[in-house]
Structure 1
Amino acid sequence: MPIPDPELRPLCTLTLDLLRLPAPLPVWRARVDAARWLAAAHTVAESGGRLISLWGIDRSASGGGMVVCATYCVLEGLVWLELPVGHTAAYPDLSGVFPCAGRMQRAAADLSGLRADGQSDTRAWLSHGLWAGGAPLQSGTLPVGSAPGTLPTDYPFVRVEGDGVHEIAVGPVHAGIIEPGHFRFSVVGEKVLRLEKHLGYTHKGIERRFTELAPLDAYRLAGRVSGDSTVAFAWAYCMALESAWQCDIPQRAVWLRALMLERERVANHLGDLGALGNDAALGFGLAQFSRLREDWQRLSGAAFGHRFMMDSVVPGGVATDPTPDLLLRLTQQCDAIEGEVRTLRTVYDEHAGLQDRFLTTGRVSPELAAQLGLTGLAGRASAQAFDLRCDQVWPPYDQLEVKMATQRDGDVAARVAVRFDETLESLRLLRRLCAGAPAGAIRVDMVAPGVPSVGIGWVEGWRGEVQVALEVSATGHIVRCHCHDPSWQNWPALEHAVMGNIVPDFPLINKSFNLSYSGHDL
């Protein structure tokens, strides 16, 4: 059972009834009223804490009504606050304290029918006017479907007026094999005055679908929230379920999960470093990094049964135990690729044309990054030194002494440098994980406790913090599973990064962030 913990600072001054949840990371949970909901946000912000996520839960089936939830990262760990909203379904707006809350609140309005009282921007975010059946996460509503014979509602983009100002609409269908998103540029000549985007085109009903799956099966859906982060989301989901059901998993499984997470990190950095070179007309970089990534993913497939290691992290442990020979091959590959990455970094650093495109392009200053809540690798490139593997260490990272990669300039060059540094650090970690994984079982059976339970998973994915909040009923049904991708924080920052640059630099700036559409459009 959760235990009271009155010593959490800075929120202890609000006399909250905080309960410590059983989890690998320190997590506290409390129910608040409207005044403390807003006071807590101010207190967290003033102490340097961050908003991680915001979502709604409908507990009407159990007599609990509608609730809005928010999670905050503070020095001591994670704080999960809940505010019952009653029949009005309204709660105090947090976007004035944390700007990144704005779109999360708009999504909560679309999905759960909750309304942030006082929010200035009330435009629909995920709904495009085609949903039939009401808010899909409210109990009693039908599954979302397209209303027959209708066209999508026009999105009211903010207009920029002035002499010589014109708009360029990009998307939602793009020329490349990428997911859909509408980017509306307001420009003078080629200089971007403003960028506003609209997402939601890949809404898949994932959070509704979770409620229709058994808890022991839903890890497969979590791993498909964002395909390039399948290990991170699956681990976060399994951590949440194991926390809720108070299941301790074997140590070997923990080490193998970290091994897969770091391989996922390296694979994405290799792919993006090649694409960034290509966007700056260095096709050689794309060819070399694509070759390295292909070799990397082929060996991941041999070791874990899937190139992306999908369905390899399972409740109670992992699905596959690589043989000693495969662990040796994984180690040898780290040694071989490290040399090539270092050589390619020298090529990138000494290529005058490449650096001319990278330096000062798409800059997000440390001050702006802090204001917007920029997180993950993009945040670390703008002096936001947050990495769960270092700040809130959980096994096995508590034994690995991860070195955080940070930069201050906040431009494309800084984000590239962070990717290089993180790749090399992950290669070091992978060698330790392959050599140090303890012997033993890789999975234990999990049993539902037969009482209502909640849990949370919090993992440093390659983009940044991935979080899964899970609530399971006494009968073993998922009441709510909320998956949060760090792209929620970083998409608004990308809009600011583009301002003042020229239109042809947008693909380069966009790729330097490489944010998730699928992980955002749940």
Structure 2
Amino acid sequence: MTAAWLTAFLGRLSLREIPVQEEPAPGLAPAHLLTVRTDDWGRFAHEAKNWECRWVGAWGEDGGDALIVNACFEREGVYLVARTQVAPATPSLPSHTPYFIAANRPERHIRDMLGITFTDHPDTRRWTRHRAWKQSEHPLRRNFPVAGNPPAQTPPNDNYRFLFAHGSGVYEIPVGPVHAGIIEPGHFRFQAVGETVLNLEERLGYVHKGIEKIAEGRDAAALARLAGRVSGDSTVAHAWAACLAMEKAAAIEVPPRALALRAVMSERERVANHLGDIGAICNDVAFSFAFYQYGRLRELWQRVSREAFGHRFMMDRVVPGGVAADLDEQAADAMRRQMASLRQEVGELRIILDDLPSLEDRLDTTGYLSPETARAFGALGYVGRASGAPFDVRKDAPYAPYTRFSIEVPVFKYGDVAARVKVRELEIMESFRLIEKLLEDLPPGPLRADWKPPAAGAEGLGFIEGFRGEILAYVRFGENGKVARYFPRDPSWLTWPTLEKLVRDNIVPDFPVCNKSVNGSYSGHDL
């Protein structure tokens, strides 16, 4: 059924003389596929902005005779995929960035990887290339080899022009890309006066892995394994999104038991990461007690995951057509006992955190992200919910087995580090409730459906609510059931830019806790 706003939106496009054609695309459901003329690409985005759509992501593909570009939008749980084509010899498109700031870096990524120029894009600096290949080379073109053409030594990335601030007392602080801890590399360039941050600019892409390129030619099982490594802390969610896209393309129905087990694993992944994040946020303001306690609880939680599913992160347990590990009653009982214990322990820790003036002083009002800014960047997950954005794929565009449950989504509007902690605390409790319900009514039956390779050209789109928020995965198959295109969009693409905004006017020593409260994935961003 088409949403009322979508019917009105399509009518408005017609009145504005922006012809679009809705194409049948069952593999992209729940998204509607609209083909748009190249010249109308920017005008389409402008109208989508006027209709308060959210910009979700964009990806391109070398189709041989043409370069294909897709952009995804969402409103009220209804997704749209706009699609257009450009000639490979003169690839040029109007930019979506003037209307959706969230499109800035993804469009630069498309430009670097496919060579498509966005004519009115406000930033012409490369984003993904980092001088690892020539200016004239574009890795997602068909003629670019998987191994690339690496020089003996990659030139240093020393010519990136960061924004510059000057004036009395203004100084710069370069941080990274190599950090003091074990985190992945990313560069942060501050301008400050005294201890007050005036501006922050990020430079990411240092762990670019070529995920999109090395996905080409894989079979479904190999793609699922690759998807589980886009961002290791979201291995279940990314693998599920990729498998969901492939299953839609192949018109395969996953058994109910497998769907329930996927949800159990996904919620366990959410809890593990939220426990770790809360402890790390407290550690960044020198409250080591909470760091140790939440770290202890996370470790115990992951040990039960290992005992139940054979892997502490549940990696490679989501496979095309279902799951690779079952859950026996003994493991289910262990989960129930652990949740009863953790519900009490986490509750006691919440009381301590709420009653500690020094922690309140460091977290309250720190790293404020206004609802307006969060909405402009399309930030979701705990970052968006702490700033008034309630969207949750499990609730607003539900997929099985979440269609059987009501989902309680915690939402706040005070948008600071404390709010992002509070969202995590409440989401842990909601995940406990969902896991208990899933275990109460775990369906019998097989763990996976037989995989049947789809026809060449079949495509699918998967949306999954990971612990950071909405994950998008697009898959198109080529000949012999091999993957022709895979694109994963981690929530970090939308939340990393918010860090640049929320750290302004804070003191430099509060950057670590602001950063951890966002906890963007370097790996999930640096495809």
Do the structures match in fold with TM over 0.5? yes
Structure-2 residue corresponding to 1:28: 32
Structure-2 residue corresponding to 1:146: 150
Residue among 301, 305, 311 paired with 1:306? 311
What percentage of aligned pairs have identical amino acids? 44
Aligned residues: 517
Structure-2 residue corresponding to 1:186: 191
Structure-2 residue corresponding to 1:517: 522
Show CA shifts across 1:456-507 (max 9, x none): 1100100011010111124322221001011111111110011000110000
CA contact (8 A) 1:68 1:114 kept: no
CA distance in 2, matches of 1:389, 1:239: 14
Matched to 1:356, the amino acid is: D
Structure-1 residue corresponding to 2:17: none
3-state DSSP of counterpart to 2:140: coil
Structure-2 residue corresponding to 1:122: 124
Provide structure 1 residue ranges, at least 5 long, that are not aligned to the other structure. Answer: none
Change in CA separation of 1:150 and 1:244 when aligned onto 2, cut-off 3 Å: closer
Structure-1 residue corresponding to 2:220: 215
Show CA shifts across 1:307-345 (max 9, x none): 000000000000011101111111221111111111101
What pairs with 1:306-455 in structure 2 (closer than 5 Å)?
306-455=311-460
Structure-1 residue corresponding to 2:115: 113
CA distance in 1, matches of 2:39, 2:67: 17
Provide structure 2 residue ranges, at least 5 long, that are not aligned to the other structure. Answer: 15-19
Structure-2 residue corresponding to 1:224: 229
Residue among 6, 9, 15 paired with 2:7? 9
CA distance in 2, matches of 1:490, 1:293: 24
CA contact (8 A) 2:3 2:78 kept: no
TM-score (norm 2): 0.95
TM-score (norm 1): 0.96
Shift of 1:451: 3.5
CA distance in 1, matches of 2:264, 2:154: 48
Q: Which range is displaced more, 269-278 or 73-82? A: 73-82
Show CA shifts across 1:128-185 (max 9, x none): 1122581110011123353224422321101011111110000000001100000000
CA distance in 1, matches of 2:436, 2:299: 20
Structure-1 residue corresponding to 2:82: 81
Show CA shifts across 1:222-263 (max 9, x none): 000000000010000000000001101101111111111100
Shift of 1:511: 0.4
Matched to 2:75, the amino acid is: V
3-state DSSP of counterpart to 1:368: helix
Q: Which range is displaced more, 313-322 or 78-87? A: 78-87
Matched to 1:273, the amino acid is: I
CA contact (8 A) 1:4 1:17 kept: no
CA contact (8 A) 2:28 2:460 kept: no
Matched to 1:98, the amino acid is: F
3-state DSSP of counterpart to 2:464: strand
Show CA shifts across 1:65-108 (max 9, x none): 10111111122521111110113211111001100101101011
3-state DSSP of counterpart to 1:237: helix
Structure-2 residue corresponding to 1:234: 239
Residue among 489, 496, 502 paired with 2:494? 489
CA distance in 1, matches of 2:414, 2:4: 40
3-state DSSP of counterpart to 1:71: strand
CA distance in 1, matches of 2:375, 2:210: 32
Q: Does 1:49 align with 2:53?
A: yes
CA contact (8 A) 1:369 1:382 kept: yes
Change in CA separation of 1:5 and 1:84 when aligned onto 2, cut-off 3 Å: farther
Structure-1 residue corresponding to 2:139: 136
3-state DSSP of counterpart to 2:311: coil
CA contact (8 A) 1:25 1:392 kept: no
Shift of 1:4: 10
CA contact (8 A) 1:5 1:19 kept: no
Structure-2 residue corresponding to 1:40: 44
Structure-2 residue corresponding to 1:70: 71
Matched to 2:173, the amino acid is: I
CA contact (8 A) 2:217 2:484 kept: no
3-state DSSP of counterpart to 1:495: helix
CA distance in 2, matches of 1:43, 1:376: 26
CA contact (8 A) 2:172 2:190 kept: yes
Change in CA separation of 1:188 and 1:262 when aligned onto 2, cut-off 3 Å: same
Q: Which range is displaced more, 109-118 or 124-133? A: 124-133
Show CA shifts across 1:412-470 (max 9, x none): 01101100011111111111111112111110111123342010110010001101011
